[in-house]
Amino acid sequence: MSSVATAGRIGAGSANLLMYGHLVVPRLARWSKDRTRGQVVVRRRDGKGIGFLDEGPGDRNAQGVLVNRGWIHAPAGQRGVPRFKSIDDRYQRRAMRKLLCQICPDPADRDERGVLWLIDRAHGSDRPSWPEGHITGHPPVCLRCAVISDLQCPALASRGYVAVRVRNPVPHGVSGALYEALPGGPALTVDGLTGLRVVHNPVVAQWDDREALPWILMGEATMTLNGCTVVDLREEYERARSAPTLAA
Ligand SMILES: [Zn+2]
């Protein structure tokens, strides 16, 4: 089998990876030279939630939730230092929506058992049925980047993780900052002065939470992982390498 034949499943070399020295930097991560797009959160005139002072098209998602405008990346080579623990919200939401790899721009790996996810054991893994029904803010991965994460990511190494095939990932809701209107505060006041305060950050709310969602500034999208099959990452990689493909 040619290398071209396997490229679709385990990646076409390192051409589309972001590097910092010898480290692969996930697309999901922010960089020190990222600039904020600027946003001022205000109480809506009708009193029924929050908005941006200069809100326009694209500031809400399909469900009408206000979304964080995120960050503007500096040009390649001028991005500064990667902030591995800080998330680029816009990329996270896009990766969840389109089931893209959280590390490179490729689609996440998928086979007959579902989409590939790496889930750390820190959250809920004492539940007998775990990871079935696990709710996550981490996008899935492609096979190549799953192996890279296994080798490189200190957070995964310290907490331990499982590789999971997910047959039915279902959009769950949002993770973001929950605002509250201060009693008697005027409408359309600027965040931090009067009228609004952040109650919890982050808070997680489901898509049907009509009470909370109007007051949340969405950062990340969350997903419920249904139809889970725990797999061995090394076996997955070998399986993909040896599988016949249409290009073979
Ligand atoms: Zn990838």
Between the CA of 173 and the centroid of ligand 1 the distance, in Å, is 24
Q: In which residue are the tokens 């809400």 written?
A: 60
Average pLDDT for 71-86: 90
- Could you please report the per-residue DSSP string of 39-97? --EEE-TTSSSEEETT--TTSB-TT--BB---EEPPPTT---SEEEEEE-HHHHHHHHH
CB-based burial label for 226 (10 Å; 0-12, 13-18, 19+): middle
Question: What's the pTM value of the predicted model, to 2 decimals?
Answer: 0.86
Confidence of residue 248 (pLDDT cuts 50, 70, 90): very low
Looking at residue 183, what is its pLDDT? 77
Between the CA of 11 and the centroid of ligand 1 the distance, in Å, is 7
Between the CA of 36 and the centroid of ligand 1 the distance, in Å, is 26
Give residues whose Cβ lies within 5 Å of ion ligand 1: 101, 103-104, 106, 142, 145
Between the CA of 64 and the centroid of ligand 1 the distance, in Å, is 30
Between the CA of 26 and the centroid of ligand 1 the distance, in Å, is 9
Q: How does pLDDT run across 170-219, given as a tens digit for each residue? A: 999 999 999 998 876 665 555 555 578 899 999 999 999 999 999 999 99
Average pLDDT for 89-100: 96
The fraction of the chain above a pLDDT of 70, given in percent, is 88
Looking at residue 90, what is its pLDDT? 93
Between the CA of 39 and the centroid of ligand 1 the distance, in Å, is 31
Looking at residue 2, what is its pLDDT? 35
Average pLDDT for 30-42: 91
Between the CA of 108 and the centroid of ligand 1 the distance, in Å, is 7
Looking at residue 5, what is its pLDDT? 36
Counting every residue written for the chain, the total comes to: 248
Confidence of residue 11 (pLDDT cuts 50, 70, 90): low
Between the CA of 14 and the centroid of ligand 1 the distance, in Å, is 10
Torsional sign, CA 71, 75, 79, 84: positive
Look over the chain and give the mean of its residue pLDDT values, rounded to a whole number: 87
What is the identity of the amino acid at 105? P
Alpha helix (H) ranges present in the chain? Answer: 3-10, 89-98, 143-152, 154-159, 233-242
- From 99, 86, 78, select the one nearest 30 (Cα to Cα): 86
- From 169, 116, 122, 126, select the one nearest 147 (Cα to Cα): 116
Looking at residue 43, what is its pLDDT? 86
In angstroms, the CA 18 to CA 76 distance is 9
Residue 27, SS3?
Answer: coil
Task: Report yes or no: 142 and 196 within 8 Å, Cβ to Cβ.
Answer: no
Between the CA of 181 and the centroid of ligand 1 the distance, in Å, is 41
Q: How does pLDDT run across 46-74, given as a tens digit for each residue? A: 888 999 989 999 999 999 999 999 899 88
Between the CA of 188 and the centroid of ligand 1 the distance, in Å, is 42
